[in-house]
Structure 1
Amino acid sequence: MIRSALGFALSLPLLITAAIPAQADTRLRVENPNFNTVAVEQDGTSYRYLPVGSRDLPGWSITHGDVDVFGRGFAKAPTGTQALSLNGTTSGTVIQSLETTPGSTVTVRWLQSPDTWSGCPSNNSQVYSAGVTEGPNGPTTELFNPGRPTTAGHWTRAAFTFKARDYLTTLEFASQNGGGGCGPLITNVVAHENP
């Protein structure tokens, strides 16, 4: 009986600890995260050109230049999805508003790749920025470089973290590659916040 009471007393702190809820990350809604909601032929080589102001990329607004949406075969993404090239014929910028909690820490993750088109020069720089247009201290952006062009598709993970200032936060991806086409590719954009 003493041994049984002692066992219960020792397990009590574990029960109390388990009852306290941990702060969990909340997944934020990113519309069209894989750029699949635009009609692109799936023949392995096709893409679709979209100019500034186009309404053909649900969830995203093209605010500068132009972009290309690569079909699954052309993108060669490990997720088997389409991808967005941040360069159409020139450097492009896309934005999307996320519903955030002021003061929360938000982490955005995605996959990145250099352009998979064989016509891209091997010395082509494919630098781009990712960030938010508003924050406690103004815009927050970071530069990313997925590497040199490749026909095989070289996908890697990328991420950045920021503090949300408002209930709506504008996520932005912008090519810094001024050399016409052959821009960086992104896909599988996800966001989580931790209050």
Structure 2
Amino acid sequence: MKRTALFLAAAVLTGLAAGVPQATADSGHNLVSNSAFGESAVPPGSYGYKRYDASNDHQLPSWSVVKGSIDIYNRQLAKTPGRQQAANLTGAEPGTLSQAFQPVVGKEYVVRWKHAPDTWPGCEEFAGQPYEVSIVGNESAEYHPEGGPGDWTSTGLRFTASEDTQILQFESKSRPGESACGALITDVTVRELPDEDEAPETRKS
């Protein structure tokens, strides 16, 4: 596995998950907290990252790792245009990252985020790096970041709130054992959709 084998000492694993703060609905307000994962302290340097699973995700503000493990890349490794940190959805194995939020039932919302292929050296050989995004019990779609490492693009998923607490979930679909390369995501937002024309198309591939 790429990061486990090469930089095991950089992985930090401690503690026990304790719950997720919930954002509340306000038209135009982002209902996702810690959208770019910047509230997580990550080691500096070209290969700076921190690994999270269910045992230590209380150290990752607002998010829960409900399956497998994920890595938070620092700004240098993530290569984001806005110099944000990013979540790699595949840590030592494919991971699932989630956050609870509170919309208004019956209102239409759009999830927006940026994604890119894994920037870890050697991961350019593993094309696809699929993952699924879902509003649990509501809408879902599978995504594949295109291009090469550091090619960040924006995408989104539209949904109508069916409950007053919903769960946003990102689930890696990388094949276990094949590699530890996975899609990167950052700048995650959920906002009420005031105008149909502003909604991105849901991409199913």
TM-score for the superposition, normalised by structure 2 = 0.76
Q: Counterpart of 2:142 in 1: which secondary structure?
A: strand
CA contact 1:123–1:148 (8 Å) conserved in 2: no
Task: Indicate which of 107, 127, 130 corresponds to 2:130.
Answer: 127
Cα offset, 1:148, TM superposition: 5.6
2:36 counterpart of 1:34: yes
- What is the distance in 2 between the residues matched to 1:84 and 1:130? 14
Q: Structure 1: any 5+ residue segments left out of the alignment?
A: 1-23
Q: Which residue of 1 aligns with 2:46?
A: 44
Note closer, same or farther for the CA distance 1:94–1:60 as it changes in structure 2 (3 Å cut). same
Residue 60 of structure 1 corresponds to 63
Indicate the larger mover: 47-56 or 157-166: 47-56
* Partner SS for 1:106: strand
- Kindly indicate whether residue 116 of structure 2 is the aligned counterpart of residue 113 of structure 1: yes
Measure the CA separation in 2 of the matches of 1:87 and 1:161. Answer: 24
2:83 alignment partner, SS class: coil
> Quick one: distance in 1 between partners of 2:60 and 2:116?
20
Does the C-alpha gap of structure 1 residues 148 and 53 become closer, same or farther in structure 2, counting only changes over 3 Å?
farther
Any stretches of 5+ residues in structure 2 without a counterpart? 1-25, 195-205
User: Identity over the aligned pairs, expressed in percent?
Assistant: 31
- Cα distance in 1 for residues equivalent to 2:158 and 2:76: 31
How far off is 1:122 after superposition?
Answer: 1.4
Aligned pairs, how many? 166
Q: Contact 1:85/1:185 (CA < 8 Å) preserved in 2?
A: yes
> What do the CA deviations read for 1:107-156 (whole angstroms, capped 9, x no partner)?
01001000001122514330001111123xxxx21010003653xx1100
Q: Residues of 2 paired with 1:38 and 1:126: CA distance?
A: 24
- Alignment-derived partner of residue 19 in structure 1: none
Q: Is 1:82 equivalent to 2:85 in the alignment?
A: yes
TM-score, normalising length from structure 1?
Answer: 0.80
Check conservation: 1:70, 1:85, Cα contact below 8 A.
Answer: yes
User: Which has a greater percent of strand?
Assistant: 1
